[in-house]
Amino acid sequence: MNKSKIYRILFIALISLSYVAVNAQDNNLLVVGDHQYSVDEFNYIYNKNNSLSQNPLSKEEYIPLFVNYKLKVLEAMNQGYDTIPSFKNELEYYRNELAKPYLTDKKATEAVIEEAYDHLKYELNAYHILVKLPQSPSPEDTLAAYNKIKEIKSKITDLPSFETMAKKSSDCPSSAKGGNLGYFTGFMMVYPFEKAAYDTEVGHISDIVRTSFGYHIIYIKDKRPNKGEIKVAHIMKMYPQNAPQNVKDEKKAAIDSIYQALQNGADFTEMVKKHTDDKNSLSTNGELPWFTTGRMVPEFAEASFALTENGQISAPIQTAFGWHIIKRIDQKPMKSLDESRDEIEQKIKRDERAYAGKMATIARLKKEYSYSQDDEALTDAYKIIMENKDKNSDDVLAMMSSTDYTLASFSDNKISTEDFADYLKSHKVVLSRINEKSYENHWNECAEEKILAFEKSVLEEKYPEFRFLMNEYHDGLLIFEISQKEIWNKASEDTTGLENFFANHKDDYILPERFEGTIIQCNKKKELKEIQTIISAPDFALTDSLKDVISTFGTIKEGSFTKGENALLDQQVWGIKSKIKGDFKYLLKIGDLKPLAKRELSEVRGQVLSDYQKELEDQWIAKLRSKYNPVINESVVKDKK
């Protein structure tokens, strides 16, 4: 997001006086020509903004702000700011963002988050068998794969028979290990597989589950609490996976020698620098990023988590990549749900469970809008595609559109064959690859898009809070744009006007009489005398080291101090006697009293520019009030407190 958009968001948040279309029959607080603004609208805006203010105003005090805001919005619209493409595009962007929570079921989304966290709390050790499906399986492919996995499952009675069938029949690389996947936790497998695994008890086989890879059955050997994350460093003697035994023996001898040196007191970091073969971790003295059990090869992970204390070093362990000596750096338990929520939500967006909230919303909307579909018409449309797959796609879709069937209806809306054909075309669906299953998927997606698009179009009518937010952004963007033209840019570019304003208000920027220097405060006479001794030395200079010494007795403040800021200073500098209140009884000062002084524009340009902008805004508001002649009825506010 660019800076301009960020400024707009901040500006809108600061001035958020939104338009609220509410009961027209209520008494109006403000009338401007044909535009009427009700007291209920005013009360909404007042309650929202005044509750956030550090200096709350009464309703009577707030009315002028409300009127001024409405006049600015009206002027921006009359100047055509709401017709500019950039404004429309930006408002549409905000609308799309604001609409997202309304198009996904919050309860379903929360349930998915909680389920994901429940999965993350445990690690599973599982075995599985896969019967693969081609990328675009036909009904025949699907049935054959399902029957095969069903037959395999019927022959399994326990873990040994599962391993035997995995080696014999599984299409997964894990088949070489009898289907063993090691330990894993949430988000490490595709979601349908993960859910089936966590829904299966230890010592049992899952139901047949389908994923994008094919059909699976899963045996759960163990379930244990998540061990959290660990950070380790390691020394590695590496060898290729196909290395001959003599090379492996050489690496084993080398790692044993390193381990013996460590046992005799050698420094781990120095041994990393001299001996490790892992060049990726050499620059970090062997340290690896934080990891969980399933993020490392099982042998390495198990050895790492077996270390019970920071600084503890493992005996040499072997993996498929070589020999390792592991040193524990730190370990931390699994985060709480609140701590994990943002990370879980981001991960959910990247897998299939992201659609849970959306699908729950679609199910609700179908019921709410009495959705119905004509299965016979859908079958006829499918036949047109299947019987003409060898023809030009545009021609086939044109044939489909010409039938003018109503495939589904909801509320007062219809989805026709033409709508479905347009969907297939816009999504660049290859008709020659369509089969019964993919056709059904495309149709469901088309219907879902139509329902969600309709729901999105009526959000303002259904949800007052959404209408409030949209109008807040609408008005805020307009105010931002017109304020740039009428106030901010004008003040920045009008050098002569700024100089004249400063010349006419010089007395407002006078630097008052002040004490400039250092004040030291303490509570005890003994401390006072010690500080006096220090600062009265002939070669005294307030160095940083000396400040540290003095600060052990009291406090030191440096800067410019005006009358009324400090009672002790007022007494010593200006002779003002008052009851001393505060944490300190004594004060010593180092510095001088400076007289009242006028400042140059260059010294106070920022403050002057801000004041000049305020004057331009006041002048502009006066013109708008004269131009639009707003009629204000304050009595309705008093009547409806």
The share of the chain scoring above pLDDT 90, in percent, equals 66
Q: Is the pLDDT of residue 622 over 50?
A: yes
Range with the poorest average pLDDT among 142-146, 595-599, 636-640:
636-640
Instruction: Answer yes or no: are the C-beta atoms of 60 and 634 closer than 8 Å.
Output: yes
pLDDT of residue 5: 53
pLDDT of residue 41: 80
**Structure confidence by residue, pLDDT tens digits, 561-576:** 999 888 899 999 999 8
Q: Is the dihedral of CA 347, 352, 356, 361 positive or negative?
A: positive
Q: Is the pLDDT of residue 145 over 90?
A: yes
**Structure confidence by residue, pLDDT tens digits, 69-93:** 999 999 999 999 999 999 999 999 9
Cα angle value 377/382/384 (rounded, 5°): 100
Alpha carbon separation from 120 to 173, 185, 187, 192, 354 (Å, rounded)? 25, 5, 8, 15, 17
**Structure confidence by residue, pLDDT tens digits, 297-342:** 889 999 999 999 999 999 999 998 999 999 999 999 999 999 999 9
pLDDT of residue 2: 52
**Structure confidence by residue, pLDDT tens digits, 453-494:** 999 999 999 998 898 889 889 989 999 999 999 999 988 888
Q: Is the pLDDT of residue 582 over 50?
A: yes
Q: How far, in Å, CA of 289 to CA of 557, rounded?
A: 45
pLDDT of residue 136: 74
Cα atoms in the Cβ-side hemisphere of radius 13 Å centred on 487: 19
- Of the two residues 641 and 521, the one the predictor is more confident about is 521
Q: How far, in Å, CA of 380 to CA of 384, rounded?
A: 7
pLDDT of residue 356: 83
Q: What is the mean pLDDT of residues 116-140?
A: 91
The label of the residue with tokens 């948040």 reads: 13
Instruction: Answer yes or no: are the C-beta atoms of 340 and 117 closer than 8 Å.
Output: yes
Q: What is the CA radius of gyration of the chain?
A: 37
pTM of whole model > 0.75?
Answer: no
Residue 418 CB neighbour total at 10 angstroms: 17
Range with the poorest average pLDDT among 228-242, 393-407, 539-553, 559-573:
539-553
- Of the two residues 608 and 27, the one the predictor is more confident about is 608
The share of the chain scoring above pLDDT 70, in percent, equals 95
Instruction: Answer yes or no: are the C-beta atoms of 294 and 182 closer than 8 Å.
Output: yes
Tally the residues of the chain. Answer: 641
Which has the closest alpha carbon to 175: 213, 127, 135?
127
Which has the closest alpha carbon to 595: 512, 532, 493?
512
- Of the two residues 63 and 135, the one the predictor is more confident about is 63
Phi, psi of 396 (to 5 degrees): -65, -45
pLDDT of residue 468: 81
Taking phi over 0 as left and psi of -120 to 50 as alpha, with beta for the rest, 178 belongs to: left
pLDDT of residue 294: 78
The whole-chain average pLDDT of the chain stands at 89
Q: What is the mean pLDDT of residues 340-348?
A: 91
pLDDT of residue 8: 54
Range with the poorest average pLDDT among 5-19, 377-391, 407-421, 626-640:
5-19
Q: How would residue 20 be classed by pLDDT, with cut points 50, 70 and 90? A: very low
Q: How far, in Å, CA of 53 to CA of 68, rounded?
A: 18
> How far apart are the two ends of the chain, measured CA to CA in Å?
42
Q: How far, in Å, CA of 475 to CA of 74, rounded?
A: 9
Cα atoms in the Cβ-side hemisphere of radius 13 Å centred on 169: 21
DSSP reduced 3-state for 281: coil
Encoding tokens for residue 554?
A: 């009291």
Instruction: Answer yes or no: are the C-beta atoms of 241 and 321 closer than 8 Å.
Output: yes
Taking phi over 0 as left and psi of -120 to 50 as alpha, with beta for the rest, 336 belongs to: beta
Encoding tokens for residue 178?
A: 């009898």
pLDDT of residue 598: 86
Q: Which residues contact 216 (CB under 8 A, 6 or more apart)?
A: 128, 129, 130, 131, 149, 193, 196, 206, 208, 209, 210
